[in-house]
């Protein structure tokens, strides 16, 4: 739709940091509670200005139609903070929930959906490698090697 009717489209590829460790240290029941709490926090936070899709495991895709780069970055940073805020509500000692998020904005002249997803995924992995719990913009990473290719 963004290609047919020219408008901005940004996506965020969100991955819960160290989710395997959460499952290993606290059990799969706690892991399930984390997934539910994160999904709820994301859904409540985006309401009418975005869509959230669980991609599988601990990965979520946030669709931000009509959002330019600056607005999308601000919204994704807000979502990152909302994810971190689920930790106290779970009341589990030693549990810290955070997320790494990769941002990509549709390039009208060159992107298709696969390219957009690939760039957001690359940015998310770069956020993880840089210490986790942050939002990385794919545009700022142009020309850097894909960390998954290593």
Dump pLDDT digits (tens) for 8-19.
899 999 999 999
CA distance 53 to 63: 8
CA distance 14 to 59: 6
Amino acid 150: pLDDT: 47
| Domains delineated in the chain | 9-142 (3.30.70.270)
Token output for 68: 């330019």
**Phi, psi (rounded to 5 degrees) for 130:** -85, 5
Amino acid 141: pLDDT: 78
How buried is residue 93: exposed, middle or buried, by Cβ count under 10 Å (0-12/13-18/19+)?
exposed
Catalytic-labelled residue, pool 29, 58, 77, 139: 58
Mean pLDDT of the chain, nearest integer: 90
**Phi, psi (rounded to 5 degrees) for 52:** -120, 130
- Catalytic annotation on 139? no
pLDDT tens digits along 71-99: 999 999 999 999 999 999 999 999 999 99
pTM: 0.89
pLDDT tens digits along 56-65: 999 999 999 9
36 three-state secondary structure? helix
pLDDT tens digits along 99-109: 999 999 998 77
């Amino acid at each position: 739709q963004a290609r047919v009717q020219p408008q901005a489209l940004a996506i965020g590829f969100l991955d819960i940091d160290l989710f395997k460790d959460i499952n290993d240290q606290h059990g799969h029941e706690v892991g399930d509670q984390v997934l539910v709490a994160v999904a709820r926090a994301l859904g409540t936070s985006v309401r009418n200005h975005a869509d959230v899709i669980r991609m599988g495991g601990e990965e979520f895709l946030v669709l931000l139609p009509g959002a330019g780069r600056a607005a999308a970055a601000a919204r994704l940073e807000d979502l990152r903070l909302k994810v971190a805020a689920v930790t106290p509500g779970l009341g589990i000692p030693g549990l810290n929930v955070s997320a790494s998020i990769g941002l990509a904005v549709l390039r009208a002249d060159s992107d298709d959906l696969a390219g957009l997803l690939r760039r957001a995924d690359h940015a998310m992995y770069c956020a993880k490698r840089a210490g986790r719990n942050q939002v990385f913009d794919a545009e700022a990473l142009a020309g850097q090697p894909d960390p998954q290719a290593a």
